[in-house]
Structure 1
Amino acid sequence: MDADVLVVGAGPAGLAVAACLLRRGVEPLVVDRGEGVGDSWARRYERLHLHTPRIQSALPGLPIPRSFGRWVAKDDMAEYLRRYAAHAGVVPRFGTEVRRLERTGDSWTAVTADDGKIRVRQVVVASGYNCTPVEPAWPGQEGFEGFGGEVLHASRYSSPVPFRGRDVLVVGAGNTGAEIAADLAESGAGRVWLSVRTPPNVVPRSLGPVPITLMSITMEHSPAWLVDPVNRFLQRRVLGDLTRYGLPAAHAGVVAQARATGVTPTIDVGLVQELKAGRVTPVAAVERFDGDAVVLADGERLTPSAVIAATGYTTGLQPVLGHLGVLDGQGRPRVNGRRPAAPGLRFVGLSNPLKGLLFQINLDARAVARDVAKELRPDR
């Protein structure tokens, strides 16, 4: 065996699991396809801050410094992860991409991109919920780009500066699309349109001094029929009727929508102000491109100079684990957290809970490390 435990991914989930295992006397092998701890956070768009407060976002064993503020900026999160790895003694092996996992007897074999093989007793997959961008591919897109139009996935958006004075269509009204649209509108873009396919539940970041994600902890296991009427009342009371500004109403409440589709609410960090000021205009879903125009589902034609596609991500796990029957139709794990998806195989950090992913990672990392250590060292 190359190690008792292989942890795939050196983001928050992988580091948390590894740190908890080390505290229990199990030394894992942590691999990651990237170049360094915190790099993926450092590459995100400049405006980004955590949507969960500092006290709800720390990993096991090390608080986030108070100097980072209540809502931690993406660069500070990257620094925190570097400090966390050093504090816990986790030294990942970077530049190592796992392409396939195979069960061989009572152990696992990981095949890497360079055709290397790693044999271990247990595997924890912690490669991230937002791992692989879903790149847009609309009919006529190449022709639009031939006319000088720009189409880019939101993962390649870093700053509003290149879009000042330009008309921009942002596709997708989830958290990323909503924040990018607000960022553009606040920073001098021309017209900013927000294309909405699935109407979002927009919620405030805080109710007075209380962060909305702290309140969501109590909603996680509550019946939707009980809590969603309260959610709707609070949404209207705090944010107002956003249909007045062209944003379609969500088809279901916050909890019902999250459970049915996995889509968490859009936390307002500037969009509502820009909607009310008329600087962001909601429009219908994109159907196709026609020359230099974007044709929407309702027949409207727009002529933006750039289209930013906040069209989401996949876990990227289908080639790695699809043959084992442990993924659902969207390539997400059927089982997350403490319970094994297969003998010796667990997933951490690949869910999208209402109470916040980092908070869930903290809980799951502790439980998984405890269970893995017991399985590997039953006599202790």
Structure 2
Amino acid sequence: MQSEITKSRSNCLWIQGPVIIGAGPSGLAVAACLKQRGVPSLIIEKESCIGSLWKLKTYDRLQLHLPKKFCELPYIPFPPEYPKYPTKQQFISYLEAYASHFSIKPLLGQEVQQAKFNATTGCWWVRTSEYQFASPWLIIAAGENAEPVIPNIDEISKFTGRILHTNTYKDGAAYRGSKVLVVGCGNSGMEISLDLCNNGAQASIVVRDKLHILPKQVLGKSTFALSMSLLKWFPVTVVDRFLLFCSRLVIGDTNRIGIERPEIGPLQLKNSVGKTPVLDDGAFAKIKSGEIKVVRGIQKFTAKGAEFVDGTVEEFESVILATGYKSNVKSWLREPNFFTQNDGNSEKSLPKSWKGKNRVYSVGFTGQGLLGAAMDAHKVADDIKRQWNSEAWNLQLESKPTFTLQSINYY
């Protein structure tokens, strides 16, 4: 049941149920959870498709970093024939089948310009370039990865070669035989360096800070799944020591090739500052063999390459910025106390919790990936369902002043 919409001549839309911003996995998950509880909703999405980050802005070799059982959306498992770590295209097919199963039909091409709670009407007003939406509930599912982070590196504009962010990188075939510098050593940076290497490019990766690298699997079992099992019985410090022991056994000592580990363990680091460890899928072996070169932080760019902090200078034909993404919610959400820069990273703004005042919610901002988004979706849907069924809530709606959408002072 899609939300009932009332439209006026001035392109104003009254939404009976919640407005959900974002048609990625988080938005689809919460729409499905609401539908299972009998609550209609409407998703608005700025791009021309669902799952746009996966469809439009990811590289071809991308696979889920975690086993599929930890990445399923509510109610619908992955097809049994899918491998343990589904590919990018398999995940996109899963999202499309998920939306079809629940008859979720987002309103596409609607980029949010502003969302603000109107105390007079008791509703959220959401404005895009084409419409105004009014709803008692607002669910933000636009994701932590809405916009690429472009670092301000000294004299980067002097570089005359090709510069691109990972959101436009597809595969390494186009770089065969060329020297490529990858800036950023997270999971994406490592995987793209491996892809470049496998396609005959000379890849160098910038490792500026201390970094945890863990094997993707230990004795055939997912490192993540193993961690989750152990955390049920042991404190995080003990589990961290076990993971580091396994890492030394499986991939070796990272310090020997100049990649130092942080002082605190990988799970503690993730919990404290949100920095995810790299789950190695083969790049570390290429680094040990010298096929992927590790370089220090960049001092500045030159016309033909870069000068590094250790004084060395190298030439490159391309630079790929594997520098991550950030949320753009604070640019359009007029609710200053909900999203806050609470993780110590000025590039990211996150909600204080999954629920804020005036019936605003968030899904998929916990830093726990698809598993966290699925958990958020259930919590949000349960909370809205209680209001939907509440006699007091229905009386409150009936007692609101009658208004026409054309006459509202939206903002």
Q: Which TM class, normalised by the smaller chain length?
A: over 0.9
> Would you say 1:84 and 2:101 are equivalent positions?
no
Distance in 2, Cα, partners of 1:102 & 1:182: 44
For 2:352, give the aligned amino acid.
V
Secondary structure at the counterpart of residue 299 of structure 1: coil
| Structure-1 residue corresponding to 2:300 | 288
**Greater Cα radius of gyration, structure 1 or 2:** 2
Match of 2:72 in 1: 58
Could you say which residue in structure 2 is the equivalent of 1:93?
A: 107
Give, in angstroms, the shift of residue 69 of structure 1.
1.3
Give TM-score scaled by structure 2 length: 0.85
Choose the corresponding residue for 1:203, options 210, 214, 228. Answer: 214
Matched, 1:111 2:124: no
Residues 131-179 of structure 1: CA deviation (Å, up to 9, x unaligned):
100123322222212xxx1111111110001111011111111010011
Structure 2 counterpart of 1:333, which letter? L
Task: Provide the rounded CA distance (Å) in 2 between the counterparts of 1:220 and 1:160.
Answer: 38
Label 1:305 to 1:79 Cα distance change in 2 as closer, same or farther (>3 A). Answer: same
State the distance in 2 between where 1:220 and 1:26 align: 36
Task: Tell me which residue corresponds to 2:405.
Answer: none
Deviations 1:273-318 (A, max 9, x none): 1112211111111221122230112222121111111111101112
- Please, which of 9, 22, 38 is the counterpart of residue 35 of structure 2? 22
- Compute the displacement of 1:364 (Å): 1.6
Match of 1:193 in 2: 204
Residue of 318, 324, 332 corresponding to 2:330: 318
Aligned residue for 2:290? 278
1:135 is matched with 150
83-92 or 129-138: bigger deviation:
129-138
Q: Could you tell me how far apart the structure 2 residues matched to 1:64 and 1:21 are?
A: 20
Q: Work out which of the residue numbers 373, 376, 380 in structure 1 matches 2:385.
A: 373
In the TM superposition, what whole-angstrom CA distance separates every residue of 1:27-62 from its partner, at most 9, and x where no partner exists? 101010111123431232110000111222111111
Q: How does 1:292-311 map to 2 (within 5 A)?
A: 292-311=304-323
State how far apart, in whole Å, the 2-side matches of 1:3 and 1:303 are: 59
Unpaired runs of 5+ residues, structure 1, are none
Contact 1:219–1:255 (Cα < 8 Å) also in 2: no
Normalised by the length of structure 1, the TM-score is 0.92
- Code of the residue aligned with 2:158 in structure 1: it is G
The alignment partner of 2:20 has SS state of strand
Partners of 2:334 and 2:211 in 1: CA distance:
30
Partner Cα separation in structure 2 for residue 259 and residue 83 of structure 1: 33
- Per-residue CA distance 1:101-160 (angstroms, 9 max, x = gap): 11112321112134x321111111111121100123322222212xxx111111111000
CA-CA distance at 1:358 after TM superposition: 1.2
Q: Does the CA-based 8 Å contact 1:173-1:199 persist in structure 2?
A: no
User: Which residue is equivalent to 2:81?
Assistant: 67
Question: How many residue pairs are counted as aligned between the two chains?
Answer: 370
2:251–2:285 Cα contact (<8 Å) kept: no
Q: In the alignment, which residue of structure 2 is the partner of 1:228?
A: 240
Letter in 1 for 2:84: R
